[in-house]
Structure 1
């Protein structure tokens, strides 16, 4: 009986092995970065980086570009120009040009979401200009632009300098009726590739931008900080009334840990309380004041809280002007008001006029180099 069972298992393994698609590395081309741009007459240009691996273990990176009516059509053209089968299993980043983002990202989202080769954990980003310009650029110190852009985004997400833009998260927010996307913008400046800021979306269309500095406040409102850092400019008379208010007091804090809560306090006027608690370390202060004194620390905590409140209100106001609810206030309203009958269209009418009350509490735990 044991021999019979062994033979059955062996036959199953042989059958399954025969059904599996053979993907010998030397016989395929590996895509690491995929870019989409909008052309005239609503055609789509697709630019891909393709890594070729030779039998002697040497590899080279080349780019392929084609323009068709759909992104699927350009994929076929790329296959026709490549001697090896193009595989997307190692795709790291999807980069969408600025004009296509303004027109709508439904097509690249749908195309890649339905591709079983592609992982939902790949990054989705917006190009400042065209994706083609970034992908086909000549870089002295970058050998694989796809891997470089991936590392750039991944490092900044891990460091909490940028929001996480995985394909899974972008698609989830795109399908949510009460939450919009904020997606990193990738910029090319000569030989340097950097994250410029965030693209604001109203459903699938890009409607505005936030700077890289504003990203800090977006993360603070959308999630929480584990170890953030921030530079602030406070009024000159923060620590001493004898100082001129118009002068500036530069402050640096790090090891920022934060928690936030969003609460609907008035459904009729659509008013939210936003409470943020911050614990941090003071690492730089352009002042001769003794930061070991409790009174000095309290003044700094109050001033830092007031400045962050002001910046949070400013960033929220920008999203209201662009009618892009990247923070999910609509989700909070929908969950708080029973039988509200809230629809996507109604929320877009309500959000720009909603009243927001950010309240920040700051606690300086250690004074860093001043202790």
Structure 2
């Protein structure tokens, strides 16, 4: 009898506990609006300076329906959070940010401190930190609405540009949201974001330049500088290089399929640190303006090494003159010099006097299929 009483008592407590549990807050997929991308522009209104646009994919319950339906919603606000709150009031579905992969900020907002603009995205727990972030040359909203001829019906074209699963270009500098935040608050490295441009005539997005975000300054890179930066940063290993004659005519092209880059900061001279680069490239002769035999490959390799050394040295000194550090020399210096409590301040005084030495070797191993 005592055991029976205890069992009944246990069931009573169990049912009483269940009654206090809240119900499931699950929302059916038909009641959700999945946000694929977010654009932030200057509204032109001093009272509500931000204009936020979201690209929403609205799934259909009909499995036979082909394609995906997109919708765009825009609102102005004092802050990004207020603009999104106003957008929520215009959609009859729950906004879901779990699939947001692209965040685009207009170049016109750079004078407001990009860290303040992106602060909302770093704090939101439902926006994934693996989202990519980029800079729109003009209006970010136009990039969201851009539909290239090659666009797939189940994705947005910028996914393919940044993920490197489809497009592998040496001119594209993808940047994750979490990595941008890390580099932004860390001393010793300046983040680099891709610049996205629209070619309305050809109906396509063009991404072949980048922007270095320094301390209170912004340095825009040319396509060639962007490619060299990506090589030095280790963002790419395979790329094409063109060699020209003195008169500017094309001579030959090299395809590099293997890259090894290493550098060390030498402090033997306490007043002038030396940054020693060791770079090794290996590839094939991809194209030539004249018939080329294999015995010329060594000569071509030396010529390519000489030109590459000149171009890389020019970019390194350009960064130095602009007082920006997108390659993270200051970060390396802090990590390898622990003799003082403020190594970064020490590096700030040393960086303008730093000297670069480059040991570059381009090994062209074959003429391709042509013998």
TM-score range, shorter chain: 0.7 to 0.9
Query: For residues 117 and 302 of structure 1, what CA distance do their matches in structure 2 show?
Result: 52
Q: CA offsets per residue over residues 31-71 of structure 1, 9 Å max, x none?
A: 00101123443821111111222433554211111111211
Structure 2 counterparts to residues 273-352 of structure 1, below 5 A: 273-290=276-293, 292-293=294-295, 296-342=296-342, 347-348=347-348, 350-352=350-352
- What whole-Å deviation, never above 9, does each CA across 1:293-341 have from its counterpart, x for those lacking one? 1xx2221111101111111112223322332211011122223333244
Checking the alignment, whether the CA contact within 8 Å between 2:148 and 2:205 is kept in structure 1 is: no
Decide whether the 8 Å contact of 1:305 with 1:360 is kept in 2: yes
Q: 1:93 aligned to 84, 87, 102, which one?
A: 102
Which residue matches 2:275? 272
Structure 1 residues 323 and 102: alpha-carbon distance in aligned structure 2, compared to 1, 3 A threshold: farther
CA spacing shift, 1:224–1:92, aligned 2, 3 Å = closer
Report the CA distance shift for 1:138/1:258 in structure 2 as closer, same or farther (over 3 A). Answer: closer
Q: What pairs up with 1:165-184 in 2 under 5 angstroms?
A: 165-184=175-194
TM-score (norm 2): 0.83
Shift of 1:127: 0.7
Per-residue deviation at 1:233? 2.3
Mind listing any 5+ residue stretches in structure 1 that lack a counterpart?
Answer: 237-244
Show the 5 A alignment for 1:72-91. Answer: 72-91=81-100
Does structure 1 residue 200 correspond to structure 2 residue 212? yes
Residue-pair matches, total: 347
Instruction: With the length of structure 1 as denominator, give the TM-score of the two structures.
Output: 0.83
User: Contact 1:254–1:283 (CA<8 Å) still a contact in 2?
Assistant: yes
Deviation at 1:367, TM superposition (A): 1.9
- 1:213 and 2:224 equivalent? yes
Q: Which residue of structure 1 aligns with residue 255 of structure 2? A: 254
**Alpha carbons of 1:156 and 1:28: their partners in 2 closer, same or farther (altered >3 Å)?**
closer
Q: CA 1:90–1:113 in structure 2 vs 1: closer, same or farther (change >3 Å)?
A: same
Cα shift at 1:224: 6.3
CA contact (8 A) 2:256 2:281 kept: no
Shift >6 Å, 4+ stretches? 143-146
Distance apart, 1:186 and its partner CA: 1.0
2:173 maps to 163
Q: Once the 2 structures are TM-superposed, how far is the Cα of residue 366 of structure 1 from its aligned partner?
A: 2.1
RMSD (Å), alpha carbons: 3.0
User: Based on CA coordinates, which of the two structures has the bigger radius of gyration?
Assistant: 2
Which residue matches 2:59?
A: 53
Q: Secondary structure at the match of 1:324?
A: coil
The structural deviation recorded for 1:144 is 6.5
Q: What's the offset of the Cα at 1:217?
A: 1.3
- SS of the residue corresponding to residue 213 of structure 1 reads helix
Indicate the residue corresponding to 2:36 in structure 1.
Answer: 32
> 2:214 touches 2:324 (CA, 8 Å); kept in 1?
yes
Between 259-268 and 78-87, the greater mean CA deviation after superposition: 259-268
Following superposition, the deviation at residue 101 of structure 1 comes to: 2.9
Counterpart CA distance in 1 for 2:29 and 2:179 is: 31
Residue 113 of structure 2 corresponds to which residue in structure 1?
A: 104
1:69 is aligned to 78
Contact 2:334 2:344 in 1 (8 A): no
**Counterpart-to-counterpart distance in 2, 1:146 and 1:75:** 22
Question: SS in structure 1 opposite 2:164?
Answer: helix
